[in-house]
Structures are given as C-alpha cells and as structure tokens.
Amino acid sequence: GLFVLRPDGWVGSALALRMDAIGELEGYFGSFLRGSLESLVAKRTIDARGGMVMPGGVDAHVHLAEPALFGKGQSADNYETGTRSAICGGTTTLITFAPQRKSEPSLLAALEETHKRAQDNCYTDYSFHLICSNAGRQAISEFPTLRSKGISSLKIYMTYEALQLKDSEILDVLFEARKNKIVTMIHAENGAIIDWTIKKLEEKKLFDPKYHVTSHPPVAEIEATYRAISLSEFIDVPILIVHVSSPSAAAHISAAQSRGLPIYAETCPQYLFLTRKDLDKPGFEGAKCVCSPPPREGSQDHEGIWKGIEDGTFTVLSSDHCPFIYEDTEIGKKSVISPEYPNGHFKYIPNGCPGVETRLSLALSANRLKLQKFVEVTSTNAAKLYGLYPRKGALIPDESDADLTIWYPDGELGDFDLKNESLHHNVDYTPYEGRTLKQWPRYTILRGEVVWDRDGEGLVGAKGYGQFLERGVSVLKGSVKEEWNVEDF
C-alpha cells in the first residue's frame, strides 16, 4: 500500500527515504517532502506531525516453539503468538532459532522442521539462525547449502550438556563458517564452572531459584568470552557474543575490537533492567527471571552495559525472548516443583524470559540513548550483521521495505505502568510488571500495511502476512574475510 506523509511527520512506503538515523529525519522531511505531498494519491493518510518515525524493529534473538533444551519446560510461544507479540511492540522482523538436536547429524533437517512451524503462521517477517549442537561432518558439510537457502548465521553453545561444543568442535565450525561467510553467534559461559558450582550448591541443599545466579558467576561468562574471542582470532573470523550480561566480559570484547578484530556483541533488556534481587523473592517467584547468563548485581552493572551500547561495544540490543508459562505445572516454570523441592530446584528451571514485545519500549522509555543509537542497536545493525540490509533496518528509496514504527514524541503519551494483561505473548507474566514506561509504538507498519494501531483497534496485522527472508552476508565492516593463503592451515 501507499501511504502519505505530512511534512514534519511521516513516511510512506513508496517514497524515497533515507534514514539510518532518526536524527536526519526532520531535515529530510523538510527538504524532500514539503511541496511534493499534494501530488500523491494515497489509500490512507496518517498524520504523524511531530512524531518519531523509525525503521521497524529487527529482533535477532528470539526463541519460538523450541523443544526444551535449557532445563525442563516447553516454549510458551509458537510462531503465531511470538510474532504477534513482536508487532504489537514495534518489531517487524524476527530472526528466531532453528535448533539441531545432538542426536540429529543434519542442520538441514532442523531447518526444514523449523520452516514448517513458521510457515503461514507469522505476523512479522522472519528468518532463522541455525543452532549447531552436533558439529559432525554432515553438519559442517551442509554450510554451503544453508547459504543457498538464505541462512547466513549459526549459534553455538559453550555450555549446556544438550548443546555444548568442545573447543575443537568450535574451531571446526568457525573454520567452515569463515569459508562460507557465515556469522557465528556464541553463547559464552564456561560449562564446567557452572556444573561444578551446581554440584556444590546441591551438596549444601541450596535449591531456591536465586541460586541460579550463584551457579552462573560472572567469571564463567568472562572466561568463555575471552576464549571465544581467542578462537575467533585464531581462525580470523567474525563472531557475535550473544546476551552479554557482565561489564567485565564486555571489556574483553571492547579490547578485542580495539585491536581491530571482528568481534560483535549483543546485550538484552534483562541486563539493563533486572538484577539478582529479582530472583531472590519468596517461594518460587524468582523463577520468573531465571535466564542465562543471569541478571547481575545492580546499577553498576547496568551502567556498564549502557555505556557499552553508547560506545559501540554492543552491536545489537536483542530481546532473547525465551518464553515459559509460570503457573503451568506440566510444562511451564512450575513444572520443576515437587515434594522434594517445594520451591523448585534452580537447575531444572527453564532458562529464559519473555521480552519480544517490551524490548523497544523499555529501551526508549529509559531515555538514555540518542535516538540514532537506539535505531542502530534495535534495528539497523542487526539487519547489517545478519544480511538483511538495506531491505530491513533502513528506509532507503527502492531498496527498503516500508517497515516503520511510529512513536509519539517524548512525554506526549504520559507515564503508564506496564501490565502483562496488555501484552500479546502467550505468557502469564512479564518480568517488568508494574514498571513505569513513557513510550509505546503508536503504529507498526510492515511492508506498507499497518499491523499495529495502538489508539485504534490495536492488533490489525494478519497471521500469515509475515514472509521468510532469505539473507545474504554481513555488510558490517571487516566481517567478511578474504580467502586465506591455504598454507596458513
């Protein structure tokens, strides 16, 4: 559809717009649109004078309909409910995971299975990162085929029995990823430190949810982050460290970047807004905020992560939406409660928090980032790193889809308290219940269609409108390597 815009406000799908940076927008409208509007014929006009218009959010870390691999439990959101939740919060593109089981040698099989789950069910556009947990010969030999099917990224784990790769297997993956221009995402926590600490806590009969934090100490993340950087440097290949929670881990990343290495990093709202105290609640309540890595100590850690976003250490701010129903005693977080463990046992609590719908609003309401930086880390950079740019993450004439999020200017909406009942995921809680927000998207637009109209009917998108996106290679500087001199290996 064609939209029309008014000066100082808005953007239309068929129009030429260049906007990596919201900061450029006002000037742009001023010079480009003024005077040219009258000639446009539109199906619909939205007056967004004074509003903030941004490319739709790109959330590159979302778990939907995955089998239980991080503890017990089962994903609360499928492709329908997860993508629905996303558009209501201003996100128009998701990159979710296609998980390979250790017992399954093929990555392509995992890809096909995941396609079936998503097909015709999505409200957002979408793609997949393959989770590689069996890095045997077959999986490795499939990298070129993955590329031909539009997949240009993988995730691997340095922890979790069901997923963990040995360092030698990580090298196998990185070596082949380099040849195929694939970006490897790494869950960097030292599995042995975690397992050892869990054993010690169990010996002392310490099972409450808060011990999840004790069992995932910062040093586990710091050590694994440094090791991942070393392995990447050895192979000379780009990696992205996912869900970084600890400023000391971020310091290793920043030092590596200063040496010119293609090390990218991601953080998530839980590391900006939650602390270990959110897990230290009476009874089982703390289970709501069990995720890995866990929320850290307090405001100093939050400050360190915000600074890392501001100074460019972090490339992307993703949700790591990994949803589990709290009250469900069969497959939800409460499935780990038993007569033996009346407050549950932390090691069985499924790891993950919901957050695909609240990511943009939380970050924008914090009023901390320059708008340009906000757009970069929540949309543009993910599109660039994962091969979706400039179709996504930007508004460039003839090249970008008309994916937009429109916000009221600061203060116009007034403060309001976040309530789970206003969200659209299939989860019975949000870790951010009761938090005061200042921003919520007024409209979300996907390929020229309004899919979220906050002050109108709310959700107006259609299930199945979302399309699978074939991705190319990263366009971030230094992230695609030239051929090696083969004698080097």
Tokens describing residue 109: 């099989």
CB of 273 to ligand DUC, least distance (A): 17
Buried b (16+ CB within 10 A) or exposed e, 210-232: bbbbbbbbbebbbbbbbbbbebb
The residue with tokens 């995932």 is 216
Near ligand DUC by CB under 6 A: residue from 292, 335, 361, 430: 292
In the complex with ligand DUC, the residue whose CB is nearer, 19 or 349, is 349
Interface with ligand DUC, residue 439, by CB under 6 A: no
CB of 185 to Zn ion, least distance (A): 8
CA 295, 300, 304: angle at the middle one, nearest 5? Answer: 85
In the complex with ligand DUC, the residue whose CB is nearer, 121 or 245, is 245
CB of 61 to Zn ion, least distance (A): 5
CB of 353 to Zn ion, least distance (A): 10
Near Zn ion by CB under 5 A: residue from 129, 147, 187, 392: 187
In the complex with ligand DUC, the residue whose CB is nearer, 142 or 320, is 320
In the complex with ligand DUC, the residue whose CB is nearer, 291 or 450, is 291
Near Zn ion by CB under 5 A: residue from 125, 223, 266, 320: 320
Write the binding mask 216 to 255 for ligand DUC: x where contact by CB under 6 A, - elsewhere.
--------------------------xx------------
Q: For the segment 166-195, give every residue that binds ligand DUC (CB under 6 A).
A: 187
CB of 186 to Zn ion, least distance (A): 9
Write the binding mask 470 to 489 for ligand DUC: x where contact by CB under 6 A, - elsewhere.
--------------------
In the complex with Zn ion, the residue whose CB is nearer, 385 or 446, is 385
Q: Please tell me the distance from the alpha carbon of residue 12 to that of residue 402, in angstroms, as a whole number.
A: 7
For 153, phi then psi, to 5°, come to -150, 155
Interface with Zn ion, residue 190, by CB under 5 A: no
Near ligand DUC by CB under 6 A: residue from 20, 278, 320, 357: 320
Write the binding mask 22 to 61 for ligand DUC: x where contact by CB under 6 A, - elsewhere.
----------------------------------------
Interface with ligand DUC, residue 352, by CB under 6 A: yes
Q: Residue 398, Cβ neighbours under 10 Å: how many?
A: 7
Residues lying near Zn ion in the complex (CB under 5 A): 187, 292, 320
Residues lying near ligand DUC in the complex (CB under 6 A): 63, 70, 187, 242-243, 291-292, 320, 322, 351-352
